[in-house]
Structure 1
Amino acid sequence: MQNTATKTNDSPLLRKTAYERIEALLNTGTLTPGQVVSQRELVELTDSTLGSIREAVSRLEAEGLLQTLPKRGLMVPSLDITFVRNAYELRKLIEVGTLERSSDMIPKSIIENWIKQHEKLLEQIIDNKDEEVSEEIQKLDWDMHSRIVNAGNNTLVENVYRITAIKIRMAVQSRIKVTPFNGHRVINEHLSFLRPLAAGDKKLAAIKLEEHLNNSLTLALGGTI
């Protein structure tokens, strides 16, 4: 364990590492919506210095990923309607808005490989209700969506999307996590925009991507599709 004494000269690397480790706790659901945690607890969870945690917390507060509760500690934002809706609507603006440019930057072979991966997973989830298949679908889901946005090569958009994606994952972990019983829906919705994307029909791909994100928002808010 590193020295947890407060430091004023923590290096940029230590601050970056502390931030990324807290980010990972949010992404994996280790820190859950509404949970209250102290800076000292974050030191233990991330094996970071107190100084670097304080720096990371300031950044996470500015991004809306943590909230300070006077005399209580830090709270992970609760998944109220406004939080979830805002995150999904921003996600939709970014993903659909960047799809046309991003699709020009992604080799067709990669899109075709995504299609093959989805088709293979669809067969597996029909025949096998193992949670490992669901986890593989979820991993592919997050990786594919992020790569589509990042292909646009706009660092400002990428950073905004990264923060938004953390909020989305918080909602997913709590409300619409991929399971053996809903995985086929996720796969088929992905295929509905990947196939026209591979065929060069960007307009239809954008329509189907937006439908997919709208469905996810509806489910995250407790509705049905």
Structure 2
Amino acid sequence: MPSGASSQRARAYQGFTQQILSGSIRPGQFVSQRELMTLLDMPLGAVREMIPRLEAGGLVKTVPQRGLQIAHVDLKLIRNAFQLRAMIEREAVRLFVRSVSATELDEIEAAHHDILNRARRAGVDRPDADLLDDAQSVDWGLHDRMVDAMGNEILSEIYRVNSLRVRLITLEQTVITPARLIPAMEEHLVFISALKRRDEAAAIAGLEEHMESARSRVLSTSPDVLRSDWPAATAAPAAPRKTTPSNTTRRHP
């Protein structure tokens, strides 16, 4: 059974992930430990113990005199996150197409049709109050379920952290609207149809098409907003060293 401290640390991390999923924490944002205390409603100790895990996952960076900075979205992050996602999900599909039950697939398909119908009724700019949240839950729920069905806790954890990176990318580069939901749900339904036929090749092809569409939507954003690296810390640059006999490399004839 986890100790009280580890339980609080886990709750703080879960709260942080929920803030990313809800869009309350944005890419590139600076936040202090005390601000995280308030945001997560957790004690300072739990927040401090959570930070190394966030740093190890590349989700935050400590910037001297500024605090914690949420990961920036750049081309390297987009490439790496989508590549890792594709590697894990391809293997997951190979197992899922054989192991998922027909009843489970019927439930998954019905949930997607419900989102698709609601998005079509909502039109482009007037979604119902819960549509976007429900759509993301259905969308990512399918991907998470496939990966978890592999029964590999290490891979599931790697995938969960990478999913947060993908969510940050999505939050930064795209605006989720009913018009964007419709093609995503339609792509999923093609994929689900292949799963129901137990057609592994078609399922993998459908998954790859869906992930490529998602990546293309992100990369269609103007490159001006994509940053190539973390911003430099705000500390003043070091003064140039004086050239003295003690620190000058002497050249011998």
- TM > 0.5: yes
Residue 128 of structure 1: how far off its partner (Å): 2.4
Same amino acid, percent of matched pairs: 30
Which of 68, 87, 98 is matched with 1:74 structurally? Answer: 68
Aligned to 1:11: 5
Aligned to 2:177: 179
Which of 185, 189, 192 is matched with 2:190 structurally? Answer: 192
> Deviations along 1:51-108, whole A, 9 cap, x unmatched?
2111100111011011010111000011111112211111111111221112323212
Which of 58, 82, 91 is matched with 1:88 structurally? Answer: 82
User: 2:48 & 2:133 partners in 1: Cα distance?
Assistant: 33
Residue 136 of structure 1: how far off its partner (Å): 2.2
Aligned to 1:60: 54
- Select the structure of larger CA radius of gyration: 2
Aligned to 2:247: none
Question: Could you tell which deviates more after superposition, 188-197 or 176-185?
Answer: 176-185
Residue 218 of structure 1: how far off its partner (Å): 1.2
Equivalent positions of 1:36-185 (< 5 A) are 36-129=30-123, 130-131=127-128, 132-185=130-183
For structure 1, the residue ranges without an aligned partner over 5 or more in a row are 1-8
In the superposition, the TM-score normalised over structure 1's length comes to: 0.89
Distance 1:134 1:18, change over 3 A: closer
Q: Is the 8 A contact 1:149 1:158 kept in 2?
A: yes
For structure 2, the residue ranges without an aligned partner over 5 or more in a row are 223-253
Aligned to 2:225: none
Residue 10 of structure 1: how far off its partner (Å): 6.6
SS in structure 2 of the partner of residue 18 of structure 1 = helix
The alignment covers a number of residue pairs equal to 216
Equivalent positions of 1:206-217 (< 5 A) are 206-217=204-215
> Deviations along 1:7-63, whole A, 9 cap, x unmatched?
xx9711111111211122122211100000111111111121212111100111011
User: 2:36 & 2:70 partners in 1: Cα distance?
Assistant: 12
Residue 175 of structure 1: how far off its partner (Å): 2.5
Does 2:29 match 1:35?
Answer: yes
User: 2:148 & 2:175 partners in 1: Cα distance?
Assistant: 23
User: 2:70 & 2:15 partners in 1: Cα distance?
Assistant: 15
Q: Determine which structure has the larger helix proportion and give its number.
A: 1
Residue 201 of structure 1: how far off its partner (Å): 0.4
